[in-house]
Amino acid sequence: MAETQQHERDAGTAERALDVAEKLVQTRGFNGFSYAHVAADLGITKASLHYHFPGKAELGEALISRYAERFASALARIDAERPTARGRLEAYVELYADVLVGQRMCLCGMLAAEYETLPPPMATAIIGFFDANQAWLTTVLESGRSDGTLSFTGDAEEAAQAVIGTLEGAMLIARPYRDLARFHAAARRLLDGLV
């Protein structure tokens, strides 16, 4: 019984550490915080944090993995709840908007800005995140074009890249202004260009 409780406490501490680190990455970037920041926020020692994540690189990998899993779950919900390609694209845009509401950025978008300074496993994981998003968007765009609800020129994969690039860029520009309307204007133009 005591061993189970210790395991649950350890898992809870690791999860809370990821929550704190995620917020720090989304607001400051990966290079903008240290273990000391996370430990102080949690009220634990840096040594305790090292127990859960041996180094900052492992913490970063865990962050990307968890974020990618959550995003994949969100995409699965969108597929289940939105029957049309347009509806799926609108829900995809809202995933980005919801992050921006809290004055945060897409975790992997922030990490992509620091790509050259990140450990190779993190860099690989970031590419995996964007590849998975591009694959999902490509399927949505192809479906919409085949059923006549979406219209765009060129390759669906290139259009998917443009969707991701536009949304990530719109977040970057809206954030310093603290103006969600800027993001929504760019997103609306993007979606209107696909119908």
In a domain, 3, yes or no: no
pTM: 0.90
Residue 120: is its pLDDT beyond 90? yes
In a domain, 31, yes or no: no
Mean pLDDT of the chain, nearest integer: 93
158 to each of 26, 89, 163, how far by Cα in Å? 27, 15, 9
CA dihedral 6, 7, 12, 15 (to 10 degrees): 150
Total number of domains in the chain: 1
In a domain, 8, yes or no: no
With a pLDDT cut of 70, the percent of the chain lying above it is: 94
In a domain, 45, yes or no: no
Give 3-21 pLDDT, tens digit per residue.
Answer: 544 544 556 899 999 999 9
Which residues, other chains included, contact 85 with Cβ-Cβ below 8 Å and sequence gap of 6+? 140, 141, 143, 144, 147, 149, 150
Residue 193: is its pLDDT beyond 70? yes
Residue 122: is its pLDDT beyond 90? yes
In a domain, 138, yes or no: yes
Structural domain harbouring 143: 56-192
In a domain, 51, yes or no: no
Distance CA 78, CA 76 (A): 5
Residue 1: is its pLDDT beyond 90? no
- CATH of residue 136's domain is 1.10.357.10
Q: What integer pLDDT is reported at residue 10 of this predicted model? A: 59
In a domain, 9, yes or no: no
In a domain, 122, yes or no: yes
Distance CA 180, CA 57 (A): 32
Give 66-119 pLDDT, tens digit per residue.
Answer: 999 999 999 999 999 999 999 999 999 999 999 999 889 999 999 999 999 999
